């Protein structure tokens, strides 16, 4: 009489779950962090307000941000204004328009609490002013740090054949020439490979244990 199989649906599900858990437990998952965009605030104020020595002012008059950040101007002066990128002709007494690429010209209503904003993408200096009151009365500068650029990945290098002539298969990026060990830039690949190997080994050991239990029951 043939002994009933112990590989029921329940046992198969347990085996698959254990194998997957072992893989997830040893293979690290790395998610690159992304810097969140920031907001910089500038207040439009009237004379007599702290930090304002003119009829109207942008406070602070200088803002330092990163590429992708946004500057928000809030009117608290009770008068209408603009936030306009300088040109050489419009700002003859100032430093010109700056050396950055973005352009902007925004009207600001007189009601207190009115806001306008601009998101800066190009790196460099932006000089701006109010067209209503002129550069000599109201002006400011936004300095944008350019976005960092990633270094190019190293190209694969050919390896010499055993006889010393010709070229063999290229060495994968991140692996050193001596013994195929990963250098400081290729440790992630070695970690994943080792994790996958350990997970497979754990699954095989679990399968062997279940198989041994099956044989033991048949003997009984």
Q: Which pLDDT score, from 0 to 100, does residue 214 have? A: 46
- Residue 146 contacts residue 65 (beta carbons within 8 Å): no
Token pair recorded at residue 109: 């209503």
Q: Which residues lie closer than 8 Å to 206 by C-beta, 6 or more apart? A: 15, 18, 19, 22
Q: CA-to-CA distance for 136 and 56, rounded, in angstroms?
A: 10
CATH architecture of the domain with residue range 39-145:
Sandwich (2.60)
- Residue 141 contacts residue 61 (beta carbons within 8 Å): yes
Closest CA to 108 of 85, 133, 79: 79
Q: Which pLDDT score, from 0 to 100, does residue 176 have? A: 44
pTM over 0.85? The answer is: no
For 114, how many CA atoms within 13 A lie in the half-sphere containing its CB?
17
Q: Which residues lie closer than 8 Å to 153 by C-beta, 6 or more apart? A: 173
Exposure string (b/e) for 123-159, b if CB count within 10 Å is 16 or more? bbebbbbbeebebeebbbbbbbeeeeeeeeeeeeeee
In order along its 220 residues, the chain shows pLDDT tens digits of 555 554 555 556 555 665 555 555 544 555 555 668 899 999 999 999 998 999 999 999 999 999 999 999 999 999 999 999 998 888 876 666 777 778 899 999 999 999 999 999 988 889 999 999 999 999 999 999 987 766 666 665 555 555 555 555 555 554 444 444 444 444 455 455 555 666 666 666 666 555 555 454 555 5
Q: CA-to-CA distance for 86 and 103, rounded, in angstroms?
A: 9
């Amino acid at each position: 009489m043939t002994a009933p199989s112990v590989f029921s649906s329940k046992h198969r599900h347990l085996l698959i779950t254990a194998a997957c858990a072992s893989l997830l437990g040893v293979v690290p998952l790395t998610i690159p962090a992304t810097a969140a965009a920031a907001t910089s605030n500038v207040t439009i104020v009237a004379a007599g307000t702290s930090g304002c020595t003119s009829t109207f002012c942008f406070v602070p008059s200088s803002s330092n941000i990163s590429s992708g950040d946004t500057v928000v101007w809030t009117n608290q002066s009770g008068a209408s204004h603009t936030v306009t990128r300088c040109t050489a002709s419009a700002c003859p007494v100032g430093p010109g328009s700056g050396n950055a690429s973005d352009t902007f010209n925004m009207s600001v209503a007189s009601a207190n609490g009115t806001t306008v904003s601009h998101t800066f993408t190009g790196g460099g200096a932006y000089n701006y002013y109010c067209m209503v009151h002129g550069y000599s009365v109201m002006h400011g500068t936004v300095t944008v740090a350019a976005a960092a650029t990633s270094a190019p990945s190293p190209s694969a290098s050919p390896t010499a054949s055993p006889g010393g002539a010709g070229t063999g298969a290229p060495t994968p990026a991140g692996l050193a020439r001596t013994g195929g060990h990963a250098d400081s830039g290729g440790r992630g690949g070695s970690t994943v490979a080792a994790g996958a190997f350990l997970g497979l080994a754990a699954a095989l050991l679990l399968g062997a244990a279940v198989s041994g239990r099956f044989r033991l029951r048949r003997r009984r």
